[in-house]
Structure formats: C-alpha cells, structure tokens
Structure 1
C-alpha cells in the first residue's frame, strides 16, 4: 500500500525525529513527473551504494551525520546540491534524516 503524498498547500512536519528516528522509515513526501521530495532515513553504519539520479538533486541534513562519496560530510543544517547524473553514495555516521529533493528535466 502506497503512503499518501502531500497535497499542494499541505504543511509537512520535517522537524527532527529525535528518539523516533530509529523507528522511522524513508518516506516519499511528493512525487510528480517533474519533482520528487523524500524524507530519507539513513541509519548509522549503513551505506546507500553509489548510484546516479536522472535529475538535479539537493540533500538537506535535518539531523544526524552522513558522508557522501566518501569525502563530503553533512551534519544537521547542512545542504548540498548535486548536478543531474552525478554519482553519489551515502553512508550514515549517525542515525540521520535528510530531505532529498529531485528536479527532473522534460
């Protein structure tokens, strides 16, 4: 069963999850043919292997710490932009929650 996505004008709570972070799974917030927003959960010690996305993307670390490609560290409050098709991996240094946005071309 698919989770409901946010509707235009609907407020979405992206505050830090705190103690609930360990019990939370990644969830899509909005998905359309041009845009996708996801609350990405990366537990400590896990790695999302290197991959590419066919759009421009941003990562905003909401809480925790992660490392990308193994030399860029994001901590709570940090934001990063990647060009479309840029290979990247993500490793959780701490239990982490990130806002992932993807902007697709035509």
Structure 2
C-alpha cells in the first residue's frame, strides 16, 4: 500500500507517537514535483552519516536537540530553531538527545526518487516508511 501524502488544505499532525524513538521513522508528509516535507524522528544512538541532497533544505527542531555538521562546523538546534542548507551541501545529522524534526526540501525539475529515498539510502540501518 502506497503512503498517503497530505493534500492542499489538509491538517498535518507533527507530534510523534510513543514508539517512534525506538525505531528510526522518516515520514514524507507532503510530496509534490517541487517540494518534499518530511517528519524525521532521530534517536540519539542512530546518527545520519554525511550525505547530500540535490535541493535546498531547511531543518526545524521540534523536540530534543539536533547537531547538524555542515560548512566545516556543527550547528546545534534546540526546539523552535532551524537551519538552512544550500542544495548539494554535504551534511550529517545526529541527535544529542532523542529528537523530532521537520525537514523541507525544494526539489528540482527532473528529480526522481525524492529526498526521503536519499535519507534512507544514507542510513542503511533505517527502517520504516518514507
């Protein structure tokens, strides 16, 4: 069964459920030709190794504490803080404490696979829908 993405005007709940931290879960909430919105659950013990996304992205920390390694430095995000990264910028993401984040990626024309696929590919140990 294919994952249902939200449609225009639909309310989207961002809170995690009680089992999310136990298993890495990447959920693509919205996917269009030009935009992908993903809710990431980042357990402290499962860092996302360095990778690149084709499109520009923002990462908003909703809960916990997230470290983003990019541009030769580490940026720490607390709840209600965000970081922007240009397309193609190598970056790694890890949770200093179990965390939930909202990632927005602008997709270029002719792009295939989607950012959630890239995020899963960067995390060979990840499971769960995208």
TM-score, with structure 2 as normaliser? 0.73
Aligned counterpart, 1:14: 14
Q: How many residues align?
A: 105
Between the aligned partners of 1:75 and 1:19, the Cα distance in structure 2 is 20
Q: Note closer, same or farther for the CA distance 1:18–1:6 as it changes in structure 2 (3 Å cut).
A: closer
The 5 Å alignment of 1:4-83 reads 4-15=4-15, 17=16, 19=18, 21-23=20-22, 25-69=25-69, 71-83=74-86
Q: Which runs of 4+ in 1 moved over 3 A?
A: 17-21
Q: Structure 1 residue 29: deviation in Å?
A: 0.3
Secondary structure of the structure 1 residue equivalent to 2:94: strand
| Worse-matched range after superposition: 18-27 or 5-14 | 18-27
Q: Structure 1 residue 78: deviation in Å?
A: 0.6
Between the aligned partners of 1:64 and 1:18, the Cα distance in structure 2 is 15
Q: Structure 1 residue 22: deviation in Å?
A: 2.1
- Residues 48-77 of structure 1, C-alpha deviations (whole Å, 9 max, x = no match): 010110111000000011111161111111
Between the aligned partners of 1:21 and 1:75, the Cα distance in structure 2 is 19
Contact 1:21 1:96 (C-alpha < 8 Å) held by counterparts: no
Q: Note closer, same or farther for the CA distance 1:29–1:73 as it changes in structure 2 (3 Å cut).
A: same
Q: Structure 1 residue 2: deviation in Å?
A: 2.8
Contact 2:66 2:77 (C-alpha < 8 Å) held by counterparts: yes
- Residues 23-52 of structure 1, C-alpha deviations (whole Å, 9 max, x = no match): 562211011221100001110122101011
Between the aligned partners of 2:56 and 2:80, the Cα distance in structure 1 is 20
Gaps of 5+ in 1: none
Gaps of 5+ in 2: 110-130
Are 2:96 and 1:93 equivalent residues in the alignment? yes
